[in-house]
Chain A
Amino acid sequence: MEEWRFAIQIAAFSGRGDPTPIAETEKPLPAAVKDNRDKLLERAMSRHQYSGDALIEVLHTAQELYGFLSPERLKTIARKLRLPPSRVLGVASFYHFFSLEPKGEHTMVVCLGTACYVAGALGLVEVLQRRCGAGSKVSVQTARCIGSCGLAPAVIADGKILARVTKASLGAELDRIG
């Protein structure tokens, strides 16, 4: 919840209609894709006939391409899908999957589902919070059950599920990605 709140604070109090552009540190993508991102987003919208009903699919595509949803991006999407901007932000901020500010180079998602909680996932969060403070390359997030309860406690490191994570193995993973 905190991520968007901060982004919105910036957007809301930095001046007239034109929020501070946030530096785009985006997911590494093949060069060909990177240059084509605007086109790919356009294509996704056209595939849905620019229908407002497809807002969530379009937001998924935009986040996949750019790593997060900047105010400019939301504005573009609103215009193209002919939706009020407030509705687009309302939808984007409702779903936790969408990120309104850039993520770190790496992401670590600690599962806090029941099985992981019972297996001590909170300890893993503590480790990550201690080691990945401000300025770290690693964005730390928590999830409400990733459905890998048989592997508790589980962590998703850059999209890959790590099973039965211990404080030590998590530390080793952090050392590895630097």
Chain B
Amino acid sequence: MSVKTLEIDGKMLTGVAGETIFSVAWNKGIRIPRLCHIGGISDVGACRLCLVEIEGQKKLQASCLTPVEEGMVVHTDTPKLRAHRRLIVELLFAERNHICSVCVMNGDCELQELATELGIDHVRVRYQFPSLPVDLTHERFGLDHNRCILCTRCIRVCDEVEGAHTWDMLGRGTNSRVISDLGEPWGASDSCTSCGKCVQVCPTGALFAKGKAVGEMRKDRTFLKYIVTAREKKQWIE
């Protein structure tokens, strides 16, 4: 395995060939913002929050999909990137109805946390206020489309880790919506195993466990690393 040495935000770091900039950076405590990435499942480069500047390259690159190369000089936190990230998060808040004050994930939401980190104190684009349903037909879980940011973590974890492929995306553009099976209510899904992985990986309050009040829901993602390591290396880690 060849080792690549590169500079990220002024620090000399090393990664193995094939490892992404994102992974090398996070391992060394450089927290590049992200919403669609979650360790253990495939990356799609959709949220565009982990874009970084690489010296010598004109275009910004999604760090979750860009492998490290020898001698790369990467900047993960420039004024330009901050401005873009801020506007992307504002766009998400305006796209659907994220009413944090009445959300079960208030205080532990990745979107909300990101907004705070980026110093967002108001949204400059117009709120769209779409009319979206809440699916409470599942015995243990709920799906609130108002909180969904279409990151597709649920779709990927269900397909890649659980193997059920209950979820997929309906329609396109801003009218996209996560669906189970043929658009039936979640509770009526034949393929869902009720494993709850989708709920745990959801970055916002779109997927939640029933019976939680505002701000009570906490999610646990450690299972992903556990399962994926077990599957790939036959090691059962803590």
List chain A positions with a Cβ less than 8 A from chain B. 1, 4-5, 8, 11-13, 15-17, 19, 71, 74-75, 78, 84-90, 93-94
Given A17-B190, A93-B172, 11 more A-B residue pairs with CB atoms under 8 Å apart are A4-B170, A12-B179, A15-B188, A19-B183, A19-B184, A84-B181, A86-B180, A86-B182, A88-B182, A90-B169, A90-B170
Among residues 28 to 47 in chain B, which have CB atoms less than 8 Å away from a CB atom of chain A? none
The winner among B167, B170, B185, B187 for most chain A CB atoms within 10 A is B170
Q: Which 6 A-B pairs have the closest CB atoms?
A: A86-B168, A84-B165, A90-B168, A16-B188, A17-B188, A8-B183
Q: Looking at the assembled complex, report how far the CB atom of B168 sits from the nearest CB atom of chain A, in whole angstroms.
A: 3
Once bound together, how far apart are the Cα atoms of A44 and B217, in whole Å? 49
CB–CB B182/A74 < 8 A:
yes
| Among candidates B168, B175, B180, residue contacting A5 with C-beta atoms closer than 8 Å | B175
CB of A86 to closest CB in B, whole Å: 3
User: What would 12 A/B residue contacts be, using CB atoms closer than 8 Å?
Assistant: A8-B179, A12-B135, A13-B133, A16-B187, A16-B188, A17-B184, A74-B182, A84-B165, A84-B181, A85-B191, A86-B166, A89-B179
Smallest CB gap from A17: residue in B: B188
**Given the complex, which residues of A lie within 8 Å of B56, measured CB to CB?**
none
Give the tally of cross-chain contacts (CB within 8 A): 76
User: Are B182 and A85 in touch, CB under 8 angstroms?
Assistant: yes
Residue on A nearest B166 in the bound complex, by CB: A86
Tell me the nearest residue of chain B to A94, going by C-beta.
Answer: B172
User: Is there contact, CB below 8 Å, between B168 and A84?
Assistant: yes
Decide: A71 and B170 in contact? CB cutoff 8 A: no
Q: Are B171 and A1 in contact (CB under 8 A)?
A: yes
Find the A residue at minimum CB distance from B179. Answer: A86
Which B residues from 133 to 183 make CB contacts under 8 A with A? Answer: 133, 135, 159, 164-173, 175, 179-183
- Bound Cα distance A4, B175 (Å): 11
* Closest CB in chain B relative to A101 CB, distance in Å: 12
- B170–A13 CB distance below 8 A: no
Distance in Å: Cβ of B128 to nearest Cβ of chain A: 15
Give every chain B residue within 8 A of A15 (Cβ-Cβ).
188
Q: Which residues of chain B have C-beta atoms less than 8 A from A19's C-beta?
A: 182-184
**Cα–Cα distance between A75 and B188 once the two chains are bound (Å):** 14
B171 touches A11 (CB 8 A): no
Q: Which residues of B contact A8 (CB under 8 A)?
A: 170, 179, 183
A161 to chain B, nearest CB (A): 26
For the complex formed, measure the closest distance between the CB of B151 and the CB atoms of chain A, giving whole angstroms. 16
Cβ-defined partner of B183 (8 Å) among A12, A78, A84: A12
Report chain A residues within 8 Å CB of B171. 1, 4-5, 93-94
Q: How far is the CB of B197 from chain A (nearest CB, A)?
A: 15
Note all chain A residues with C-beta closer than 8 A to B188. Answer: 15-17
* Set of chain B residues within 8 Å of A13, measured between Cβ atoms: 133, 185
Cβ of A109 to closest chain B Cβ, rounded Å: 19
Min distance, Cβ B91 to any Cβ of chain A, angstroms: 20
A11 and B184 within 8 A (CB): yes
Minimum CB–CB distance from A9 to chain B (whole Å) comes to 8
> Which residue of chain A is the closest to B189 with respect to CB atoms?
A17
Chain B's nearest CB lies how many Å from the CB of A3? Answer: 11
Contact A84 B169 (CB under 8 A): no
